[in-house]
Amino acid sequence: MDIHQTRTWVRSIAAAMDQHKDHLTQLDSAIGDADHGVNMQRGFTAVVAALDGYEPAGVGDVLVKTGTTLISKVGGAAGPLYGTFFRATGKQLTGPVADAEQLAAAFDAGLAGVQKLGAAVLGDKTMVDALAPALEAFGAAARAGEDEATAAEKAAAAAETGAKDTIPLQARKGRASYLGSRSIGHQDPGATSAALIFRTLAEVLKP
Amino acid sequence: MKKLINSPDTVLDDALAGVAAAHPTLKVDLEARIITRAGGPSVGKVALISGGGSGHEPLHGGFVGPGMLHAACPGEVFTSPVPDQMLAAAQAADGGAGVVFVVKNYTGDVLNFEMAAELAGDDGIEVATVLVDDDVAVKDSTWTAGRRGTGATVFVEKIAGALAEQGADLASVAEIGRRVNAASRSFAVALSPCTTPAAGKPGFELAEDEMEVGVGIHGEPGRSREKLEPAAAIVARSLDAIFADQPLAAGEETIVMVNGLGGTPLIELYVAYADVAKYFAERGVRIARNLVGNYITSLEMAGASFTVCKADEQMLALWDAPVNTPALRWGA
């Protein structure tokens, strides 16, 4: 993945959040406070503006800028969590191009940052339920010698499955946890937006 | 959606412009999105700073002024503010004695204030944090994000703000804030949902004869849905939950708040307060001070929250200390 593709990825995330804003907000109104779609759209719109005219030296710079902007613009839990994911990922990628193995290691650092901040583990009904299986699939593909496009396709599929698998879970983190067992039966909005991010990556890298 | 707004996208900016125009005692920085005292920082005194999503007015901006907050950071409706706002507030309000962040326990608020505390620390500003988590509707366990911060926030901001005004140091101001939180419990019941301007639709739906029990302040569904009850039964249900969590013996003194969630008229809050007073009298527990009104709201949600603080002499004395803010004013 080169700098141009990284920019395209982030811009495509913005377009995806714009397109899926109402769906994310609808999921969030069932078990949260009905603002996830709006917040993600507002955040990535700000990211696109921040990247305009920005001259990154490496792939990582684009992602660090993305993360920093999300932290300053989004608020809520999603701002710091996604902001940290992109910042921690970006800090690992210093070159103008990143291969599948470098990306896998960087994404792992991103997830570690998210889990350190939010203290969520697999099964808590959060974005981690999409991110963790996505990165596992991405890493396995990279270790098997697949290119980043194939790895991203597998990651996207795993993230989507992970997001769907949050439906029967009872939330243990975030605002949905206040509902207790009433959070069961609803798909987690954070896991859903995380799956969108990886689906977008797969589309951008598709040869 | 029927709202007195110009556009869902500009609600916060438009409201802040109104706050600026209405209250010359406040300084509203529309760019940084912070509300501070017009007089600037109090040199040598600890500054109390709070913030959170908007839609809970008068909390927090309405509590900025002598005897209470030094600065407030309003986020988008029901969305926590960002670290840049809290840092700007800390820089604007620090009088050299440090700042106390009063943070309601929600994942977003906690994460953003944590990041801001780091940034302020890098800037040489000493920061202490008081986390408010008083809502007994949420079980405090490893299975949830912990109890929500609700009505006790008003008590913490008033009492810790009074101590800061007297010139106490950072550790003492934070300590009294934590003690007030530890001594306070809240419970809320909603009679109608609310609609955020951005979503345009209510967070949940309630039939004419239903109520949502154990709600928070963000239009999210509560713990259970029940048939609508008379005020006395709603009060008893709420206070039972509070007393079960923190037993109060005859003769003990309390500060009690009956708070409207935004869409309930004062006449109904007084109906509820009569039942609250009766409930306390039957148990011999004293209501030494009270507040009845809209102090921490949830947009236009109908319903009420009940907050009880088991108060000691120092808390009562600080409660009585002068306060001069748009939403709370006495002795000044």
Give the pLDDT confidence score for residue A51 in this predicted structure: 97
Is B107 in the A-facing interface, judged by CB distances under 8 Å?
yes
Contact B143 A170 (CB under 8 A): yes
What residues in chain A have per-residue pLDDT under 50? none
Annotated catalytic, B218? Answer: yes
Give tens-digit pLDDT for B303-328: 999 999 999 999 999 999 999 999 99
What is each CA distance from B254 to A189, B154, B234, in whole angstroms?
41, 14, 20
Size of interface A-B (CB pairs under 8 A): 115
Q: Do B173 and B70 form a contact (C-beta atoms < 8 A)?
A: no
Residue ranges, comma separated, of all CATH 3.40.50.10440 domains in chain B are 8-183+319-330
| Range B8-183+319-330 has CATH code 3.30.420.40 | no
Contact B112 A73 (CB under 8 A): no
Q: Please, what's the largest Cα pairwise distance for chain B?
A: 55
For residue B48, the one-letter residue type is: L
Q: Do B11 and B197 form a contact (C-beta atoms < 8 A)?
A: yes
The whole-number average pLDDT for the span B75-92 is 96
Edge-first strand listing for the sheet containing B34-37? B26-29, B34-37, B71-77, B47-54, B99-104, B127-132
Give the nearest partner residue to A80 out of B78, B112, B198, using CB atoms. Answer: B112
Q: Do B155 and B180 form a contact (C-beta atoms < 8 A)?
A: yes
ipTM of this predicted complex? Answer: 0.83
Q: Do A122 and A167 form a contact (C-beta atoms < 8 A)?
A: no
User: A171-196 in b/e burial notation, b at 16+ Cβ within 10 A?
Assistant: bbbbbbbbbbebbeebbbbbbbbbbb
Residue ranges, comma separated, of all CATH 3.30.1180.20 domains in chain B are 184-317
Break chain A into its structural domains and give their ranges: 3-205
Which residues partner with B193 through β-bridges? none
Give the nearest partner residue to B111 out of A42, A77, A180, using CB atoms. Answer: A77
| Range B184-317 has CATH code 3.40.350.10 | no
Mutate to test the interface with B, among A21, A45, A178 (most CBs of B within 10 A): A178
Is B221 in the A-facing interface, judged by CB distances under 8 Å?
yes
What three-state secondary structure class fits B108? helix
The whole-number average pLDDT for the span B258-275 is 98
Name B80's Cβ contacts closer than 8 Å, sequence gap at least 6.
A75, A76, A77, A79, B51, B52, B53, B106, B108, B109, B111, B112
Give the pLDDT confidence score for residue A34 in this predicted structure: 79
The pTM for the full model equals: 0.91
Residue A181 Cα, gap to closest chain B Cα (Å): 9
B236 CB-contact burial (10 Å; exposed 0-12 / middle 13-18 / buried 19+) = middle
Residue B140 in this model has a pLDDT that exceeds 70: no
Give tens-digit pLDDT for B205-261: 899 999 999 998 988 778 889 999 999 999 999 999 999 999 999 999 999 999 999
B61 confidence band (pLDDT: 50, 70, 90): very high
* Chain A residues whose C-beta sits inside 8 Å of any chain B C-beta: 25, 29, 31-35, 38-39, 42, 71-81, 117-118, 170, 172-175, 177-180, 182
DSSP-derived secondary structure letter, B284: T
B142 confidence band (pLDDT: 50, 70, 90): low
- For the domain spanning A3-205, the CATH number is 1.25.40.340
Give the pLDDT confidence score for residue B141 in this predicted structure: 54
